[in-house]
Amino acid sequence: MILVDFARALAQIGDPRFRRVLWIGIGLSVALLVGAYAGLLWLIDWLDPEGVELPGVGQVTWLGDLLSWGSLFLMLVLSMFLMVPVASAITSLFLDDVAQAVEDVHYPHLPVPPRVGFVQGLQDTLSFLGLLIVANIVALALYLFFPIAALPIFYGLNGFLLGREYFQVAAMRREGRDGAAALRRRHMGRIWAAGILMCVPLSIPLVNLLVPVLGAATFTHLYHRVAGR
């Protein structure tokens, strides 16, 4: 059934509200990735002004290589790791627009819920980003001790966290914070599985730009299915 929810979300990708959030998300994602990558190059330059030799990329220096093809490749690789927190931030800030578009098409009998305030949404986003970053820093130790299990650990951990966040934000629109948390706990297994489904394409450069919108739509369908609406 999770794949059915995803297929229904994918079928609606041409919706103008989906496209609006998609373009905003792409713009924010690219800006954040470029900013993060520029910061990385600045750090490399600060540590070694002569540059650093990277396999397959060559000599990496700060400003001179910022727009080079080698840097573009390195930024795409970097996006595999950065898109998990980026996707979370975009989803939390723009979920209402995507969820309402889904409900207008698939659940038109429901009244329009009150929008989550921007300040509250921003607070929730920053709180979850902090949790996501800390959890992944801790997971680095597991990657070092169990390198053969690095990918399963990455997908399992981030799938759990993303599923939790996607579902919480989707359900909170109609259930409130406490109601959404109770519903999430009752259906944590399928929510975790859906989170892993969203997490896998997040590690694929360029494809990952579509995931925040599709994830928001998928979890809106998942919420309505488990809530019996």
Report pLDDT for 97.
84
C-alpha Rg value of the chain to the nearest Å:
19
Measured CA to CA, the distance from residue 78 to residue 66 in angstroms comes to: 14
Give the single-character DSSP code of 187. T
pTM of the model: 0.75
- Cβ count within 10 A of residue 164: 19
- Cβ count within 10 A of residue 51: 16
Give the single-character DSSP code of 53. E
CB 140 within 8 A of CB 154: no
> Which helix (H) or strand (E) element contains residue 12?
none
Query: What are the extents of the domains in the chain?
Result: 2-227
Q: What is the mean pLDDT of the chain?
A: 77
And the tokens for 85? 């927190």
Report pLDDT for 89.
66
54-105: pLDDT as tens digits: 555 455 554 445 445 555 666 666 666 666 666 666 666 777 888 889 999 9
183-197: pLDDT as tens digits: 999 999 999 999 998
157-208: pLDDT as tens digits: 888 888 888 898 888 888 888 888 899 999 999 999 999 988 888 777 677 7
> Which helix (H) or strand (E) element contains residue 175?
helix 150-186
